Structure 1
């Protein structure tokens, strides 16, 4: 344990502590832990190039603060710590291994740039092996707050990311609260993101994104017990295989609460994920928006309610895969009081299973809706044990199942007798 105050850092919020931090990191050996006692550490004009085996801990986000800034280098992004493929040669053979970042705050409000720069993160490490990130408060960074890629055997827990991506127009790379690039370790990346909060960030609250279209979408990623609110998208899967999202709150996000699509840099959507036990509520757009995927997604035991668009919408965005999605499952969900249809199918499906859902009171008096609307070709669907009803007066959901002139339920179709 190395006390940073005894090695040149002042923590007074005035002196630029970045040169002293870089010297200390460079002098450390694998296994050393840099301890920054309570104080405000100014990190200015350069990011700190990190080393494998070196950890950084503080006395907690309310006590140990790193304030990023670039008063002497107005064109330079300033992450607290970074180690990247392009800048430093990071790879699976040259990872950052056996590190812990815990118990401090990163404030990016003083980083001023002429435009968006993807490197203007709070933390920007790539190829991390056995990393632990916990009890961090990251806010007001120009780009993604926690923007670390390729995390193997790693845990991200109790990270609070607020107002990150403040220079993102909404269409830049990154700009999220917690953004994690995946695929660099091969077919399996063992990563857990748990008990995090992402609030009012530029693009996604939390997202995972395949970084090379030629790579295999990885399995092994879990997002559990997180809260995403007030972002453009709450939680997004842009290229994982079998992503597990459980026990999460996705509330008040501007475009969608949960998103699967080809909007990532490689235009590869996630597939075969599992969403269970989540609350997707009060998003001004759709609650759940899924498309550009080969299929296999399961959405179960979740509340999808009071969204400004459809509760669940299957559709494909242009510029990415648009083949029919196979084996989609909606099972045992509560879908109610959404302004559009409860379930809206605007993208072709093969062998979908819509079973045991409770769909009530969707639509508005001005724009009545259906419980389920089929607006695309659906082959071999199973629709069974749905409870579709409306208690509103006047009714807002007058139709249980609607097939539009552009929709089709092709044989064989398994429906409830009524």
Structure 2
């Protein structure tokens, strides 16, 4: 591969913000051999009426999001979505045998605010590629797209770094497919997908700040995906696991998201929830709904060393959404978390658990004067639980967290392995 950088302005692109640069960009991509790097210098490039079908081995770089701007619009094709670049299974035959390989997209802005559509269209993304190998996506600012901003699926040996996605999914009602800041479909490469998403910021997007979603219910949920040091704010959901295995979420902040800060559920298109993931060292704060919401999973999730605070619902809630697979969740772990000042219960169990571990959590000051709460509330069958070394208190006068452990009429606690709390009903 030649790894040769060419200047797009020398190959037909104008960059005046008025001339349609899409035909010239498509011609340039089609003519580039593998290893070519297209550099778009600081300018505003108008991309009108068609997305650019990408090719393997061809990269696109700019001079930075504040300098190199791609403005998407469809004045001549008002029903047509216009992603900057795409390569998909349905439109182009993307597959493990026909991937996009060895590409970099870096250092530019995608503005989708000028796209008009009669209805939501899942293809109206900023970037929308499937089956990518050795891809690097970094230092991008993507905003105001009708559908997902960064909506790429099946990313093998890829990195997604320092993407800022704001007000993407603006035509999403909140329950359409996609509509996220960063939405990544998984499962197309089999049981392992090596992907790292790091240092990204997602705000005010239609559904999720960031989600991973199994794309076929018959596929094996993949391992190997990490979300590190990201920020999700004012989305419907902050970060969601809709079908991975062993997803690692570390050092992330999930703040002010409407339904939940962190979500594991069957809400995705295949109704398959994630399992055996790890949430650690995160801040889940001030979400109007629940802080951490987990359900429809066979279990194995660990939430540790995380601050779960000031949420409008429960701090942590175990529950199952209707219409998705619902089985008792085994081996759930809540270890060493700081759970405080949530409007509902500190920990609320509305879905059946087997062999859960609730260890060394600090649970204080939950509930409100008009909404008494418990530190731990069991509203479903819980069997063979380990509940120990909890510190549960409320220093307010009068306290609203009125019980350490409350078992409701619908709840059961059977065969506890070890407890250092007396149930308070």
Q: TM-score, normalization: structure 2?
A: 0.98
Structure 2 CA distance for aligned equivalents of residues 117 and 409 of structure 1? 47
Q: Which residue of 2 aligns with 1:42?
A: 46
Shift, 1:417, TM fit: 5.8
Give 1:80 deviation, angstroms.
Answer: 0.0
- Per the alignment, residue 63 of structure 1 pairs with 67
Q: Deviations over 1:82-135 (max 9, x none)?
A: 000000000000000000000000000000000000000000000000000000
Shift of 1:413: 3.9
From 181, 193, 197, the equivalent of 2:185 is 181
- Classify the secondary structure of the residue corresponding to 1:228: strand
C-alpha distance in 2 between matches for 1:380 and 1:145: 44
Q: Aligned match of 1:225 in 200, 216, 229?
A: 229
Partner of 2:26: 22
Q: Secondary structure at the match of 2:272?
A: coil
Count matched residues: 418
Residue aligned with 1:125, SS: strand
Match of 1:79 among 83, 86, 89: 83
Alignment check: 8 A CA contact 2:307 2:339 kept = yes
Conserved in 1, the CA contact under 8 Å of 2:242 and 2:266?
yes
Is the 2:158–2:195 Cα contact (8 Å) retained in structure 1?
Answer: yes
Answer yes or no: is 1:128 the counterpart of 2:132. Answer: yes
Runs of 4+ in structure 1 off by over 4 angstroms are none
Residue 195 of structure 1 deviates from its aligned partner by 0.0
Asked whether 1:316 is paired with 2:320, we answer: yes
Q: Counterparts of 1:355-370 in structure 2 under 5 Å?
A: 355-370=359-374
Q: Does 1:205 align with 2:209?
A: yes
Q: Contact 2:26–2:53 at 8 Å: present in 1 too?
A: yes
What is the rounded CA distance, in whole Å, between the counterparts of 1:367 and 1:229 in structure 2?
Answer: 26
Q: Contact (CA 8 Å) 2:387, 2:421: kept in 1 or not? A: no
1:330-371 Cα distance to aligned partner (Å, 9 max, x none): 000000000000000000000000000000000001111000
Distance change >3 Å, CA 417–CA 312, structure 1 → 2: closer
- Secondary structure of the residue aligned to 1:398 is strand
Q: Quote the residue 2:329 is aligned against.
A: 325
Residue 6, structure 1, aligned to residue 10, structure 2: yes
2:336, 2:360 within 8 Å by CA — same for their partners in 1? yes
Aligned to 2:169: 165
Query: Runs of 5+ in structure 2 lacking a partner?
Result: none
| Structure 1 residue 267 displacement after superposition | 0.3
Structure 1: distance between partners of 2:287 and 2:337: 17
Q: 1:273 aligns with which of 266, 274, 277?
A: 277
RMSD after superposition: 0.6
The Cα of 1:319 is off from its aligned counterpart by 0.9
Gaps of 5+ in 1: none
CA deviation vs aligned residue, 1:50-93 (integer Å, no higher than 9, x gap): 00000000000000000000000001000000000000000000
User: Equivalent of 1:284, from 280, 284, 288?
Assistant: 288
Which residue of structure 1 aligns with residue 412 of structure 2?
A: 408
- Match in the other structure for 1:248: 252
Q: Distance in 2 between matches of 1:90 and 1:288?
A: 35
